[in-house]
A and B are shown apart, each in its own frame.
Chain A
Amino acid sequence: MVQSVVPEIIKESVVNLIQKGERADGRALDQYREISLETGVIKKAEGSARVKIGKTQIVVGAKPQIGEPFPDTPNVGVLITNSELLPMAAPNFEAGPPNETSVELARVTDRCIREGEVIDLEKLVIIPGKKVWMIFLDLHIVDYDGNLMDAAALGSLAALMNTKIPSTTIEGDEVVIDYEKMVPIPIKEQPLMCTLAKIGGELVADPSLEEDDVLDARISIGLRVDGSVCAMQKGGSVPLTREEVLKAIKIAQEKTKELRKSIPKA
């Protein structure tokens, strides 16, 4: 992810431990850190969530706005995902326009939500070709302690499941928005992401900050409720074998079942 320079001796100890089937924080190789998820934490946002995986913390807000659809997709609503790696989240994060890590995080999260069909975008159309709901999903990363991808996908899903939009009716050629009557946005699917890091030839789930810094390769897998794959992203400059990729999917299918338990019932 956002790798910072790690002393060789720390790298060696992390790798040695993992090759023995252990981790520095005492977890099993496929074990997640503690996860906490709250929704509706920001009243000013129509949907929101605060997610923590270990000490990694993201505040996600969803804000709907009425706008015009993209010309090539006139009959679907718009979803825009944006992330800010705040300089408060880590000493090596800097203020300024989104860097490549931030853009990658936003795009992979977007892919998981879009291809995982979280929102039924066709139901966000108000007047076909003219007026649609645009959902702005903003990821505010306030504390970085490894594995942003899984936290981002989990927080985004929870925030969207928590999002309400005002109901609209069309009278003549006017759109009437009723803020008194808020309705949940149409949720179709609940995909989640599971990230595995390849360290010392082994695959470990939910990489910690230290592991994120020393990993050889990383694979993030987006999975729908039925275990089918909806998004993937490989990171890191070391290659993965065919067998490793297939094994990663198997592990992810098990792990997303666990992650799913932290989602509040809609």
Chain B
Amino acid sequence: MSQSGIDGERRRFIAFALAPSLIVLFAVAVLPAIYLVVTSLTPFQLTTPGSATDFSAPLRNYALLPGDPRFVNSLAVQAKLSFWGVLFQVLFGMLLALLLNVPSRFVEFARTFFLIPMVLPPIVVAVIWKLIYTPDISPLYYAAQALHFTMPALTSSVDFALTAIIIADTWEWLPFTFLMVLAALQTIPNEYSEAALVDGASTLQIFWYVTLPFITPILVVSGMFRLIDSVKAFPLIFLLTSGGPGTVTEVTNYYAYLLAFDTNEIGYSSAVTVVMLLLVAGISLGLVWMGRRREALA
């Protein structure tokens, strides 16, 4: 068989192997995205016939967005949740990784158990924190009572509801940053800190001048991944606060959900979702760009 015959046969196989996936991905990902954008240009409500194809004022939904206090508030809530959540996850994840970065069989065995919160079904994480935050059955409230200290109701208080969500979210995703930072720590050659030690550097100085510069890229990348995923926090909010009290914990994702499946404003909800998608795509592009730059530097 000639060389070109082999190549041709190979090329046909590649096309044949790739085509079904591309067709299915087009059907289950691209088409829905197009449909979402089209719906966002209509005042679609399930109860109003004909509203799904009413394109008389295509940008009406988008024009309404800046003046919708609940939408603007939801962006602010999402920003607060993402900022504090990601900050705590990166900070505590790093501290935990530093603590567990020791050569020991026992620690290697224990490491797996630190991952449990991350792999649990998100709804189970929400159930776990529901138990912690419900006064009648919570160990937290038992302890407070034993110490004669009055715990405020966390999830129904305007001051603490968002903090309660941030705590649960940090607990759930701390293992992710921990895992990423630990992997980075294990690539640092021992010689570096040994040399610094010989020169009389303190542990803190070694951390600041040797370890931290090494792991900064991975801190940024894992933070970005968490930032993108923080937009998806749904089960915690659904089960713990339902977006309340008032709209204190109502993030954009939850607002879009309520609009579409509670108040039937499908067209408007689609517009909210499109804006959210654009924000996530922007952050993703930033992540890819940073990855490229790191590859170029390496």
Do these two chains really belong together in a complex?
no
